[in-house]
Amino acid sequence: MGVVNVTPDSFSDGGRWATPEAAIAHGRELLVAGADILDVGGESTRPGATRPLVEDELARVVPVIEALAAEGATVSVDTMRSEVALAAVRAGAVIVNDVSGGLADPEMAAAVASTDAAYVAMHWRAHSDTMQQHASYDGPGGVVAAVRDELAERVDAILAAGVPRDRIVVDPGLGFAKTADHNWALLRGLAPIAELGFPVLVGASRKSFLGSLLAGPDGVARGVEEREHASSALHVLLAQHGVWGLRTHDVRAAHDALRALARWNQTPVTPVTPTATGVS
């Protein structure tokens, strides 16, 4: 899933594709690089971000979705607003990627149910300006159990609203009301989330927990666009664990890494015979 941010304040690209023309061109580039899905968003969800007006969000995403869908792309809309979701589906989107899992807009699940679109429900606790105040997971099982249980509640609500089970995807929400340690625990503990019985989408690409992991001796986090090697390593590990989708900014790097993994998996294993090396 290639990211197409039609925003002036994205954490990953700082507005590089903020105009419809630039975003459409970028979407085409991601398809050539190997993207299966283009995820078009008009609202930044970086920590501390403020929400755009609904009119601004619509103006950002609808022309981009119309153009890319008309060219045959499989398009997802990244939105928390039912009004935007419905307009995006009319424009050609076939997936609604709601980072709030329906909590930001009580009408979202019913809106998606009224269409044929699939619905990605992410784990979420609060909007970007306050979400890190909710990064507490002190119950039994810690963050993994909490995310699993809270996603299960969202899925129940989405099913009750009429979205068919086979059109639901879940996302553990790395970075959303999560510390770096929470993110790593979730990455290592995806099995209980997969056991909910839905495909799993993961968005680890370029996030701040990778920047802090790769910080230099001075403690300064690695820059956003210098986190790609670590992102690709995670993509391979996640693919090995059977996740349904990988949301990524650098599609070529992710696609290359997955091609190498696929070729590795096609090659018969040759046992390695230990040889004397003199190392004890």
Q: Which residue among the candidates 125, 207, 222, 227 is catalytic per the annotation?
A: 207
Q: Is-catalytic flag, 263?
A: no
Q: Which residue among the candidates 247, 252, 259, 263 is catalytic per the annotation?
A: 247
Other Cβ atoms closer than 10 A to 19: 15
Q: Is-catalytic flag, 207?
A: yes
Closest CA to 39 of 90, 98, 86, 108: 98
Query: Cα–Cα distance between 30 and 36 in angstroms, integer?
Result: 9
Query: Cα–Cα distance between 117 and 134 in angstroms, integer?
Result: 30
Name, in order, each residue with C-beta under 8 angstroms of 168's C-beta and a sequence gap of 6 or more. Answer: 118, 119, 121, 155, 158, 159, 198
Question: Quick one: tokens of 217?
Answer: 């001796």
Count Cβ neighbours within 10 Å for each residue of 217-246 and write b for 16 or more, e otherwise.
eeeebbebeebbebbbebbbebbeeebbbb
Other Cβ atoms closer than 10 A to 107: 14
Query: Cα–Cα distance between 46 and 61 in angstroms, integer?
Result: 18
Which residue is it, tokens 């995403």?
A: 61
Name, in order, each residue with C-beta under 8 angstroms of 242's C-beta and a sequence gap of 6 or more. Answer: 194
- Residue 156, CA distances (Å) to 110, 117, 149, 196 in order: 13, 18, 11, 11
Residues with catalytic function: 207, 247
